[in-house]
């Protein structure tokens, strides 16, 4: 929308006020009148994947490290959520508790968490983007910590960018399927779901991930 169009619509709307609102406060939003919908399909699909796993497994509690705050809020309707982030938040919803955590040195005891999620987070650890310490192996340290705290018989939900391996500094890393399995060696892979926009593929052939520049790999691990 152009500024002139906004001004014309403001004048037209103001002239037809019905008296319910004494004030028209201006906050011009000039970039939203588009034919499509402005959202991130990768984040929408991986949140849908996580929610489906939690609805299927129904753990007593799920611990989310650094994922989307909106997901934690919505998923708390399925299962109680403990949400931890490097930059802690406050949330007053029922069945949501929040706190601070550094993924490279988690404060939890070994094998103490039944259900753990860390989705679209590890690729950032060690790049300094969010105020964390620069560390080329920050993601590997975080992966070791996540493996350590998952209880035997528990599950770990991981989402990472997959495709042609590279670092996009300081935004994120992109991994190969094989790199992710190596990071979480010792765990059992129950499911690999791939979002290769616009395709959402449950139990995807890992070979497909090799041929894309970047997609979202959803890895459902268990610990025996």
For residue 114, pLDDT over 80 is answered with: yes
Question: For the whole model, what pTM was predicted?
Answer: 0.90
Per-residue model confidence as pLDDT tens digits over 191-218: 999 999 999 999 999 999 998 999 999 9
Per-residue model confidence as pLDDT tens digits over 67-108: 999 999 999 999 999 999 999 899 999 999 999 999 999 999
**How far from the centroid of its chain's Cα atoms is residue 32's Cα?**
24
For residue 38, pLDDT over 80 is answered with: no
How far apart, in whole angstroms, are the C-alpha atoms of residue 75 and residue 87?
20
DSSP string over 180-212: HHHHTTTSEEEEEEEEETTEEETT--THHHHT-
Determine contact, residues 215/162, Cβ cutoff 8 Å: yes
Could you give the angle at the alpha carbon of 174 between the alpha carbons of 136 and 81, nearest 5°?
Answer: 85
Determine contact, residues 120/43, Cβ cutoff 8 Å: yes
Structural domain spans, the chain = 37-222
Domain 37-222 classification at class level: alpha beta
Mean pLDDT computed over every residue of the chain = 95
For residue 221, pLDDT over 80 is answered with: yes
Nearest Cα neighbor of 143 from 131, 158, 155 is 158
Q: What is the pLDDT of residue 58?
A: 97
Determine the straight-line distance between the first and last CA of the chain, rounded to whole angstroms: 56
């Amino acid at each position: 929308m152009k500024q002139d169009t906004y001004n014309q619509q403001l004048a037209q709307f103001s002239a037809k006020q019905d008296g319910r609102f004494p004030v028209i406060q201006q906050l011009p939003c000039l970039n939203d009148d588009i034919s499509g919908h402005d959202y991130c399909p990768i984040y929408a699909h991986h949140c849908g994947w996580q929610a489906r796993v939690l609805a299927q497994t129904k753990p007593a509690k799920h611990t989310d490290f650094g994922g989307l705050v909106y997901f934690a809020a919505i998923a708390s309707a399925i299962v109680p959520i403990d949400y931890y982030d490097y930059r802690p938040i406050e949330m007053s919803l029922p069945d949501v508790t929040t706190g601070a955590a550094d993924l490279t040195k988690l404060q939890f005891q070994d094998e103490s968490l039944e259900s753990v999620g860390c989705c679209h987070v590890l690729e950032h650890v060690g790049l300094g983007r969010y105020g964390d310490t620069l560390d080329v192996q920050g993601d590997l340290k975080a992966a070791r910590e996540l493996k350590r705290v998952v209880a035997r018989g528990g599950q770990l939900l991981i989402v990472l960018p997959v495709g042609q391996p590279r670092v996009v500094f300081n935004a994120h890393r992109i991994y190969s399927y094989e790199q992710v399995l190596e990071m979480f060696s010792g765990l059992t892979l129950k499911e690999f779901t791939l979002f290769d926009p616009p395709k959402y593929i449950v139990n995807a052939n890992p070979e497909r991930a090799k041929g894309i520049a970047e997609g979202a790999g959803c890895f459902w691990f268990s610990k025996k």
